[in-house]
Amino acid sequence: MSSFNGLGPGLGSLSRLSNAQTRSISAENMGGEKGRGGMATEGTGAQAARDLGRGWKISPSIVIQPGATATLADISGAGAIQHLWLTTHPRHWRTLLLRCYWDGDEQPAVEAPLGDYFCNGWGEYSHVASFPVAVNPHGGFNSYWEMPFRRAARITIENLSTEESVLYYQVDYTLTEVPDDVAYFHAQWRRSNPVPYQGVHTLLDGIVGSGHYVGTYLAWGVNNSGWWGEGEIKFYLDGDEEFPTICGTGTEDYFGGAWNFDVPGQGYTAYTTPYLGLNQVSRPDGLYRSQQRFGMYRWHIMDPIRFAQDLKVTIQALGWRSGRRYLPLQDDIASTAFWYQKETSTRRPPAPHVDLLEVI
């Protein structure tokens, strides 16, 4: 994006001076104020620090009660969130709902389960080494998506489960001027379980405005034997109706792989690269774990998909049947779509119920 005024510098502009102010929010400085980090006198680490006192990791995390929503960041002014780091137990990755709100809008621009937002939708750790998202042992979630705001930014986590969750987090951001041509960051989660027969999974629909699509994460559960990734991803841009402007040639092709992700002698082979990957391959165990499950991402950072009026994105679930004929599949597909647009919020489906989120 832009390298002006301290917003997300690349290596080429890293040496340039800026008047931007760097701030950071965590459980040790919940307001992000200058010179007020590590001042807590109570918190989840107070018992461990009882012999050391103030300034010795007294508040490293927060506890989110069942049904409660925690505000991680509430920022006034103009600037951009530059880095998010979070971690919690994997059993909470699908039941913690991440939301981001820009400039006082009551509707979130970002709404997604925590794990899916960080390319770990199945509640089991998967390494990711990509440009905007990094997931490191064991469950260190990092996001470098640039998230600008002009008046305010608010980030929340809702706990949809029936048990409390301990969350560690850091929100690193800059306070600076935001140019007029900088757009707002959006992310939206959807699930089809199963995909209707001869239907498609919809990643986005009803997006109105101007912007550019920058990324896809899919948590794909296979409900048939055989290959499952013949389906095409389609981008309907600016008034497209029956047929899209952009049509892929196969699922593994879109994610930068080929020939079923199948390395002879190895079978499905996971990979993680700066812009695309099949980061997770979960195999059946011959007993209760009966389904194959996959996680894959594709970042359109070098090739953003621009739209001026509206956007719709779908993907087919397609395998093979007898006679070398395509078989429409009824798989379990959960998607998280990432994009920027001029508006602070847009149409979205209702917030998912915890039963819709559950990995079964």
CA–CA separation, 296 and 271 (whole Å): 9
Q: Residue 8's pLDDT is what?
A: 65
Q: What is the CA radius of gyration of the chain?
A: 21
Q: Residue 1's pLDDT is what?
A: 41
Residue 111 φ/ψ, nearest 5 degrees: -150, 110
pTM of full prediction above 0.95: yes
Q: Residue 12's pLDDT is what?
A: 74
CA–CA separation, 334 and 226 (whole Å): 20
Give how far Cα 27 sits from Cα of 40, 73, 165, 263, 268, Å: 9, 10, 14, 45, 41
Contact of 78 with 153, CB cutoff 8 Å = no
Q: Residue 13's pLDDT is what?
A: 83
Query: Domains (ranges, CATH) in the chain?
Result: 1-180 (2.60.120.1390), 184-341 (2.60.120.1390)
Residues of the chain with pLDDT under 50: 1-4
Give how far Cα 297 sits from Cα of 58, 334, 358, Å: 37, 12, 21
Query: Within 10 Å of residue 8's Cβ, how many Cβ atoms?
Result: 19
Q: Which of 131, 158, 236, 188 is closest to 334 using CA atoms?
A: 188
Exposed, middle or buried by CB within 10 Å (0-12, 13-18, 19+), for 285? exposed
CA–CA separation, 60 and 88 (whole Å): 12
Q: Residue 2's pLDDT is what?
A: 44
Exposed, middle or buried by CB within 10 Å (0-12, 13-18, 19+), for 346? buried
Contact of 70 with 167, CB cutoff 8 Å = yes
- Residue with tokens 């049947």, as numbered in its chain: 321
Exposed, middle or buried by CB within 10 Å (0-12, 13-18, 19+), for 344? buried
pLDDT tens sequence across 66-107: 999 999 999 999 999 999 999 999 999 999 999 999 999 999
Q: Residue 9's pLDDT is what?
A: 64
Q: Residue 5's pLDDT is what?
A: 55
DSSP tag of 183: P
